[in-house]
Homo-oligomer: A and B are copies of this chain.
Amino acid sequence: MLTTELSEAQVSALRANKDRLAKDLHHSCQWGSGIRWGDGSSDTGMQRLALSDDDKKVRDWFIETTKALGCNVTVDQMGNIFAVRPGRRKDVPATFIGSHLDTQPTGGRYDGILGVLSGIETLKAMDEMGLETEGGVGVVNWTNEEGARFPISMIASGVWAEHIPLEKAHGLKEVPTVASLPTASSAPETMKSALEKINYLGTTPCSYKETPMAAHFELHIEQGPHLVSSGQRAGVVTAVQAYRWYHVNVIGRDTHTGTTAFEHRADALYAFSRMMVRAREVASSHGCLASVGIVETKPGSVNTVPGEVSFTLDIRGPKDELVAVVEAALKKDFDAIAADEGKGIGKPCRVEWTLDFDSPLVQFHPDCIDCVQRSAEAVAADSGSSEPKSLVREMMSGAGHDSVFTSKRVPTSMIFVPCKDGLSHHPEEFCSADDCATGTSIILQAVVRYDRKRFSA
């Protein structure tokens, strides 16, 4: 059967296999399973840093599984893996389902993993019903989406979109904060050396020109509380909020804790503390977020007032202008706080900002949004609700995803499903088997609808 020959009702009836999906997902989590939080076999978090030995194992499994489903597999120079189930037409790019198999150091089983597994389940469901597409259907595993080991998130989709130079990505070193984890070696690896070490440095140039896509769909847990607290089943993601990442250094003066009165200190850590308190106030007043994930003190001794503090700052907001306003306000306020600390000795602290990453507001493609919207409403009808449309909401993503970069080159959109307590980047991150299947059914239909949209005209 060919997608373009299906009736609308037949498309709306397409469903993923919940049990098979859950089995495959937890099977894939045997590699890199993390902190245990319950008694069940799958009650653990994940600790699968990009390009670790565990990441290699799940990658090997991904390739073996997709090849068994008849896919052609390509690995590019960033270790991105593209598995394509051929369509009837050989001269057109495939429609892709993509996400990532790497996790945070104390992450969960759904962030990224569900997206890739929904792609595999889509292929299995199509195979099972003998469904042929006009264009091919691909599944892509993007490398190091988290940015937890190599500190630029979505770096490999960024190289593919030609927004990040390959050389910069290859030269990026793993961060010291994870160097003590068993997955990292003692001397810092670069992305290139880490790719070589696990044999995933492919020969295909990493570019949308070499591995083109017709579109990119991504299923993800919401990582926030909106769907779960409203009892809704799916989010049609129309945009991704703007965000910027910085490194901020505060330079004060090392001095003895026991002999230096407060008024004689230029305590970089005390200044940092005031800055962090202030950052929440300012961001909050503009409907934005400001967060510090990493802070490092020097020289790092119990009885020495820290003379230098370096911290990461992550500012997010629903508009590019709001992020800029918060940044400007904090630059002013941090300077004032620094000037205040150390003024007693005429040697106030000072502040240095470095912008590491700038991700402006992303608007997804109307064609993809439309396919997701119709698919979500069709699947929501399973609930028996008299108002299935009410179980679906349009929303903005708070987090960045590989879809941010694919959207710069090809039509893209995303689907969100609820996760428990809105929690993610935590071992107890949880999405029920029902919600995983709902999202996967939506992505299955969306890919079919997109294929029909491309070739029915």
Contacts and interface: CB of A to CB of B under 8 A. Distances in A.
A15 B170 CA distance: 65
Interface stretch (A55-63, A65-73, A419-427, A433-441): A419-427
Nearest to A401: B258
Contacts of A31: none
Contacts of A425: 254-256, 299, 301, 303-305
Interface stretch (A76-84, A91-99, A145-153): A145-153
Interface string A272-299: 1110110010011000010111110111
Interface stretch (A261-269, A367-375, A449-457): A261-269
Interface string A142-162: 000011100101000000000
A11 B50 CA distance: 73
B273 A258 contact: no
B426 A253 contact: yes
Contacts of A262: 280, 283-284, 289
A177 interface: yes
Contacts of A190: none
Contacts of A193: none
Nearest to A314: B257
A296 to B, nearest CB: 9
B259 A302 contact: no
A398 interface: yes
**Interface residues of A, dominant DSSP:** loop
Interface stretch (A122-130, A218-226, A385-393): A218-226
A306 B291 CA distance: 9
Interface residues on A, range: 35 or more
A411 interface: no
Nearest to A178: B300
A105 interface: yes
Copies of this chain in the oligomer: 2
B307 A424 contact: no
A314 B273 contact: no
A312 interface: yes
Contact of A276 (B178, B258, B273, B298): B273
B306 A293 contact: yes
A297 B421 CA distance: 23
Select the residue from A283, A297, A307 with max chain B CB neighbours within 10 A: A297
A262 B186 CA distance: 36
A293 B297 contact: yes
Given A303-B147, A304-B293, A270 B259 contact: no
A148 B258 contact: no
Interface of A: 104-106, 146-148, 151, 153, 175-178, 180, 186, 222-225, 241, 243, 245, 253-262, 264, 267, 269-270, 272-274, 276-277, 280, 283-284, 289, 291-295, 297-307, 312, 314, 316, 345, 356, 397-400, 421-427
20 contacts: A106-B254, A147-B302, A147-B303, A153-B303, A223-B256, A254-B427, A257-B314, A258-B314, A258-B399, A259-B397, A259-B424, A269-B292, A269-B295, A270-B276, A270-B277, A273-B276, A293-B306, A294-B297, A295-B297, A303-B400
